[in-house]
């Protein structure tokens, strides 16, 4: 009888240990945005996202400069669209199965402003700012500045802080440089081409943090990711 009880306990423990933990579905969130010029008048805007609730999407691409819009239907979690150099674009998703929260800015479900300019190739991206964030990045811009370097800048809002530190870490070498920022924008910072850089902004007064990753490629493509 004892052997039977022990066997039951062992079987129960084995089943419990093997039972997979149920995870909540991942909500829609843009994870990467890229911009590059392809001619004097056009560029390519790319965006990637995560979303466990939908398997198809309608992505609305608004041209805020001329008022036109385009709907892109896709079953993949990315788009690559030709846009007009110097025009301002907004990207809004619609889920094919479950509605996507595009009202709450903390959901990171809208790309507010994306512009490809000429510096010779300046890409600017504006994340959605969460109003409850202690520090939030408001815009990121970057472009190729020489055969070996790129240059980027960022703006941010930080209630409760009057000075900040901007730390840039080279992901290939793990080396970091820290810049003291006493204004709302970081200004321009030089980085090597083709190597992702982790940018961390910390408020001196209350320690609030924000970060993103940026890579400027040799072909002048600018990649912004992990902007949370």
Q: What is the mean pLDDT of residues 69-84?
A: 97
Which domains, and CATH codes, for the chain? 23-118 (2.60.40.10), 129-228 (2.60.40.10)
The answer for residues whose C-beta is within 8 angstroms of residue 182's C-beta and 6 or more apart is 162, 163, 164
CB 149 within 8 A of CB 191: yes
Tell me the average pLDDT across 67-95. 97
Q: What is the mean pLDDT of residues 65-71?
A: 97
Q: At 108, phi and psi to the nearest 5?
A: 55, 40
pTM for the predicted model, two decimal places: 0.85
Question: Taking 90 as the threshold, does the pLDDT of residue 93 lie above it?
Answer: yes
> At a CB cut-off of 8 Å and minimum separation 6, what does 228 contact?
108, 210, 211, 212
Cβ(75)–Cβ(47) below 8 Å: no
In percent, how much of the chain has pLDDT > 90?
A: 68
pLDDT in tens, 143-167: 999 999 999 999 888 888 888 999 9
């Amino acid at each position: 009888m004892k052997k039977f009880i022990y066997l039951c306990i062992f079987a129960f423990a084995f089943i419990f240990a093997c039972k997979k933990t149920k995870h909540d579905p991942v909500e829609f969130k843009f994870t990467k945005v890229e911009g590059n010029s392809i001619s004097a008048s056009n560029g390519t805007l790319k965006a990637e996202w995560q979303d466990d609730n939908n398997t198809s999407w309608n992505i609305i691409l608004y041209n805020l400069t001329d008022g036109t819009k385009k709907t892109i239907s896709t079953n993949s979690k990315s788009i690559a669209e030709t846009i007009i150099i110097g025009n301002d674009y907004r990207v809004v998703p619609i889920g094919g199965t479950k509605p996507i929260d595009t009202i709450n800015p903390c959901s990171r479900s809208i790309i507010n402003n994306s512009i490809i300019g000429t510096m010779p190739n300046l890409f600017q991206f504006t994340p959605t700012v969460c109003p409850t964030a202690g520090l939030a990045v408001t815009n990121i811009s970057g472009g190729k500045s020489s055969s070996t370097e790129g240059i980027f800048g960022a703006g941010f809002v930080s209630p409760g802080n009057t000075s900040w530190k901007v730390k840039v870490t080279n992901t290939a070498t793990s080396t970091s440089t820290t810049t003291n920022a006493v204004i709302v924008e970081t200004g321009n910072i030089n980085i090597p081409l083709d190597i992702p850089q982790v940018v961390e902004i910390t408020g001196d007064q209350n320690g609030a943090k924000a970060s993103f990753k940026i890579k400027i490629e040799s072909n002048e493509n600018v990649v912004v990711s992990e902007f949370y």
